[in-house]
Amino acid sequence: MKTPLIAFCLTIAILFGSAGKAFSQGRWFPTDKPNCSIWNPRPYPEETATWSGNCLNGRAHGFGRTTWRFLKNKKWVERTTDGDLRDGMRIGRVTIIYENGDVYVGALNATSGKRHGQGTYTSHNGRVKQGIWADGNFLFAVIGV
């Protein structure tokens, strides 16, 4: 009797773990434009996206602004990202204005949405980190950029 119960519990744990992992890995997300989606690397519950640019074959495409609106710590916040998209995914340099006033200008990993490559992060209090980023982490400063 213990073996079926253990197997059932393990199955449930794997299913819930897999669902959480898939959710955290991102998904195609609808925008305010009909039949126009964008890649959302880290969806939040009850999140919405508006897209100011064009759409091509059902995906956000070209230069524009994405405004993400989501609940964070039980408060609605907005985060904007300006830059180019190709087939719904970010390419090249972006400008992100975070909900607390911080600004990042630089490269992103299109799949994860994390800072990746050369960029400058300016916090709302004026502190600047300029250099190379990998997987969202600041690696080292670049002098003379």
For residues 2-6, average pLDDT: 40
Domain interval for residue 8: 2-141
Average pLDDT for residues 109-138, to the nearest whole number?
Answer: 94
- Give the per-residue pLDDT at 20: 38
Model pTM score: 0.79
Rounded Cα distance between 110 and 124, Å, is 25
Rounded Cα distance between 97 and 77, Å, is: 11
> Using only C-alpha atoms, what is the Rg of the chain?
19
pLDDT of residue 5: 37
Taking the C-alpha atoms of residue 37 and residue 49, their distance in angstroms, rounded to an integer, is: 9
Q: What is the pLDDT of residue 23?
A: 39
CA distance 11 to 77: 36
- Residue from 59, 52, 29, 58 nearest 42 by CA: 29
Residue 145 has pLDDT above 90, yes or no: no
**What is the tally of structural domains in the chain?**
1
